[in-house]
Structure 1
């Protein structure tokens, strides 16, 4: 799994050591901004100006484009993260859960999307349920894919992933296989198990039409099921001043996924959660199985 320093999935992921990225980006905002102008000129000529650096980190950098900002340039230092984010935009096209993608460049590892400045309030119960509904839409998206996308993702279907050895980071392969079997029973044998979103309050924004969107999808993977995200939702419901019962989070998730075609029973969802925890060495389910 991708590295997580601490928090909802502690124990189920390894921390990458410092220096793992061979070609880090500059952390100097002025230099990052100058580099972004050059990249936009060469790879995103239709993007608006001026360019303003928002964040300059060794792994990613973001830039507001236009005054007022209308679009956002995101630059990756890690090719795998860039490809993962572009894949997410392709797999979730039409779901309305991500900002609109305007352009992407495999050469510069950059993409331009709509700039969403308004944060979605997930502290309220109805706002948090909007987040749950967006996550449910992502997890069930494969059932609505056009034929060409389904064919392209054929090798990621559950029968294919279930017939190969468990990933090296899985501690209990038997529990992992049961997790995949429970997921197939809920979503169907042709399901591609999308999951592992980078869910946090700051990534929940409002689109111009008022819908909630997630502004970071680079960690989405087609082989982890949606269970890590449900666990993270339960965690988010109990931190930063929130007091949303984990059982309510689980029931809301089950209702939204089933409304979109899944067939989770409460018992099978709880069993899948415990199988994920046992298989991966997860430190805590944050009471979402209670």
Structure 2
């Protein structure tokens, strides 16, 4: 489900062993920049401007383009992570919750997106609820998909997957099936259960139109539901000096998702959260079930 050892989803996370990536990227920034310039020339010819390395990690590398920066080049060493991020941009097109995607290259596993420098302060009045609203828009996006995306994503509909065997990492398949039943009751059998966002305060930025956007979508999956994101929101509401009641987070999430077409009852949402924890081995719900 994740490569994170601890944090909001501790217990439900799996850790990959060292050396799992067959073709790691360079971690040397000057070398990474030189490679990025070559990739831009070959695969993103409309992108221009000076290239500056922001991060050079063995799985991903990011670069600003332009002076001042106007765009970001993101490079993936892992094909699944690249495909997941591209899928996120495709599935959420029109929701205005991500930066704008300008181009992508399957060959080089690279994307060029808008550079969003302005932080969205989730600690200002109304800021955290704005984050919750953005997450709710992502989770309910399948209800607003155009027909061609709906047809493409039909293999992931709950009507198709709810009765299939649970993935090997699920610890309690019966609890997982019950959780999917509850999600189906709230969203409908045609729902594709989007979830597993990389939610962090420093991933919240402002788009040019003023809306809050999330700058990292590579972990989004069409099979995990939005429940891990609600759990993470409850966790974020209690760290870094915040003191937001988990119950308030849950109620705000339920209100926003229901405003966008879901039909969660509070009891159903709590039950879905507890069955998710049972199914995955999650060590804490951070009070969001209380």
- TM-score tier by shorter-chain length is over 0.9
Q: Which residue number corresponds to residue 179 of structure 1?
A: 179
- TM-score, normalised relative to structure 2: 0.99
Cα drift, residue 2 of structure 1 = 2.4
Is 1:162 equivalent to 2:162 in the alignment? yes
After the TM superposition, list the runs of 4 or more consecutive aligned residues in structure 1 that deviate by more than 2 angstroms. none
Cα drift, residue 125 of structure 1 = 4.5
**Unpaired segments of 5 or more residues in structure 2?**
none
Is 1:198 equivalent to 2:193 in the alignment? no
Q: Which residue number corresponds to residue 135 of structure 2?
A: 135
Cα shift readout 1:94-149 (whole Å, capped 9, x = no counterpart): 00000000000000000000000111111235111111000000000000000110
Is 1:227 equivalent to 2:212 in the alignment? no
Instruction: Give the 5 Å matches for 1:4-43.
Output: 4-43=4-43
Cα drift, residue 92 of structure 1 = 0.4
In structure 1, distance between residues paired with 2:186 and 2:141 = 14
Cα shift readout 1:123-179 (whole Å, capped 9, x = no counterpart): 235111111000000000000000110000011000211121011111111110010
Cα drift, residue 5 of structure 1 = 2.0
Q: Which residue number corresponds to residue 49 of structure 2?
A: 49
In structure 1, distance between residues paired with 2:33 and 2:3 = 27
Name the SS for the 1:279 alignment partner: helix
Number of residue pairs matched by the alignment: 290
Q: Please say if residues 125 and 244 of structure 1, whose CA atoms lie closer than 8 Å, have aligned partners that are also in contact.
A: no
Is 1:277 equivalent to 2:270 in the alignment? no
In structure 1, distance between residues paired with 2:203 and 2:128 = 13
- TM-score, normalised relative to structure 1: 0.99
Could you say what the CA RMSD is over the residues aligned between the two structures, in angstroms?
0.7
Q: Which residue number corresponds to residue 105 of structure 1?
A: 105
Name the SS for the 1:93 alignment partner: coil
In structure 1, distance between residues paired with 2:7 and 2:125 = 22
**Unpaired segments of 5 or more residues in structure 1?**
none
Name the SS for the 2:126 alignment partner: helix
Q: Which residue number corresponds to residue 265 of structure 1?
A: 265
In structure 2, distance between residues paired with 1:64 and 1:232 = 29
In structure 2, distance between residues paired with 1:44 and 1:112 = 8
Q: Which residue number corresponds to residue 252 of structure 2?
A: 252
Q: Which residue number corresponds to residue 122 of structure 2?
A: 122
